[in-house]
Amino acid sequence: MAGCSSNLSCRAQGVNETIEKVAILEALVTVSVLEALMSREAIFEASVDYFLNPIREFLLDDSVTEIMVNRYDEIYVERRGKLEETDASFPNPDALLSAIHNIAQYVGRQIDLDRPILDARLPDGSRVHAIIPPSARQGTHLTIRRFKRDIFDMNDFVRLGSLSQTAAEFLEIAVRLRKNILVAGGTGTGKTTFLNAVSTAIPEEERIIVIEDSSELKLSQKHCVYLEAQEPDADGHGGVSIRQLFVASLRMRPDRILVGEVRRGEALDMVQSMLSGHSGSLTTIHANAPRDALIRLETLSLMSDVDLPVYVARAQVASAIHLVVQLSRFAEDGSRKVSRITEACGLDENDRYQFRDLFISRLKGRDSNGALVADLETTGEKPSFTREPYEMGMDDSIRFTKELWER
């Protein structure tokens, strides 16, 4: 501050210099924060990769569909549909637990003694499920369902022998006709992957809302909004359920609503939205047969906080669901196939669900590699909406399914 004419001017100059330094410091801090925010995803990816290094080779192996850590030193994988024990292990129980805490931090969730179960995802989209002691008696359990990036549409399922070309075209037309489709199957049958494939038939110009417990779906369309449920914190605050997200989605001007899986009372909200103008919805459910799928959907609807008579829930489910796509997993070769495509045809005079099988898979034997060969063939029955494709001007889309439609 040399050259000041007086103490007052020197002080003023000092204050100005201080203000400038503070401004520069604030700018530097802002830039640092922005850089940190921009690299947050990359930092978490590297962190998760580091903690999961003991099973990294399986995460990079496209033939592995599931990784099952029963204990830190007992790890199995599912490869091409069959279980294999591995020699891999984490250094100790704490290393496995640290990996799980790191995954929880990545998705903004917590796992502790009060909340010993975690549903999450990895940066690549793979689904994670973890349970820690004391709920897990033999040690921490970690299960990772690999996210498959090589299947994008139903043509891939046709190529793999899981679906016939005729059935694929039928489902594409049904999606464009805005039919409500329920993808059903047991654990590990590939319901989410198939739902993702079916969704490729949704027209590009539509607005799609995707709702999931743990985000897995990645649609090909550009105009998609992804919503993910959140667990409450230790004080019970901040939780957002699938049901809350579904109700919110109805105010977001959706053309389509996709729910990764219905598990609880949100089933009633979904069914009622299907009946009130939001047609063309897609979702999955755990069930081993089309009838079981609708019964389970009915039961889940009754789990809501709405006091609903059973016959009303059944009537709404029967009216809302148009098609059930049944997936099956064959233990003989580990393959996953569409075993049945069934139309839900309302209720009979005794209030029982009625169905019409449109496609049924019939095993033909094995190929040269020992894999099961099955044909998903038409049954000769026609859907109740047999005239709609021609009425909607979809003539050019009909190549393999001409026998199912009529003018």
Query: Phi, psi (5° rounding) for residue 141?
Result: -110, 140
Question: What's at 38, amino acid-wise?
Answer: M
Quote the pLDDT of residue 375.
Answer: 87
Q: Which residues have a Cβ under 8 Å from the Cβ of 310 and sit 6 or more positions away?
A: 298, 302
Angle of CA points 295, 299, 303, to nearest 5°: 165
Using CA atoms, how far apart are residues 56 and 63, in angstroms rounded to an integer?
13
Using CA atoms, how far apart are residues 64 and 62, in angstroms rounded to an integer?
5
Quote the pLDDT of residue 232.
Answer: 77
Asked if CATH classification 3.40.50.2000 holds for the domain at 42-145, the reply, yes or no, is no
Quote the pLDDT of residue 14.
Answer: 57
Domain boundaries, the chain: 42-145, 154-404
**Token pair belonging to 106:** 């990545």
Using CA atoms, how far apart are residues 102 and 98, in angstroms rounded to an integer?
6
Quote the pLDDT of residue 305.
Answer: 81
The count of residues in the chain is 407
Using CA atoms, how far apart are residues 371 and 363, in angstroms rounded to an integer?
11
Residue-wise burial string across 181-210, b where 16 or more C-beta atoms lie within 10 A, e elsewhere: bbbbbeeebbbbbbbbbbbbbbeeeeebbb
Residues of the chain with pLDDT under 50: 34, 38
Evaluate the omega torsion of the peptide bond into residue 134 and state whether it is cis, within 30 degrees of 0.
yes
- C-alpha count within 13 angstroms, C-beta hemisphere, residue 351: 10
Asked if the domains at 42-145 and 154-404 fall in one CATH topology, the answer is no
Q: Which residue, 218, 221, 195, 198, is CA-closest to 208?
A: 221
Q: Do 342 and 327 touch, CB atoms closer than 8 A?
A: no
Handedness of CA 18, 24, 28, 31 (dihedral sign): positive
Block residue for tokens 């004391």: 134
CATH class of 154-404: alpha beta
Other C-beta atoms lying within 10 Å of the C-beta of residue 3: 7
Q: Which residues have a Cβ under 8 Å from the Cβ of 404 and sit 6 or more positions away?
A: 170, 358, 378, 382, 383, 386
HEC per residue, the chain: CCCCCCHHHHHHHHHHHHHHHHHHHHHHHHHHHHHHHHCHHHHHHHHHHHHCHHHHHHHCCCCEEEEEEEECCEEEEEECCEEEECCCCCCCHHHHHHHHHHHHHHCCCCCCCCCCEEEEECCCCCEEEEECCCCCCCCCEEEEECCCCCCCCHHHHHHCCCCCHHHHHHHHHHHHCCCCEEEEECCCCCHHHHHHHHHHHCCCCCCEEEEECCCCCCCCCCCEEEEECECCCCCCCCCECHHHHHHHHCCCCCCEEEECCCCCCHHHHHHHHHHCCCCCCEEEEECCCHHHHHHHHHHHHHCCCCCCCHHHHHHHHHHHCCEEEEEEECCCCCCEEEEEEEEEEEECCCCCEEEEEEEEEEEEEECCCCCEEEEEEECCCCCCCCCHHHHCCCHHHCCCCHHHCCC
Question: What's at 275, amino acid-wise?
Answer: L
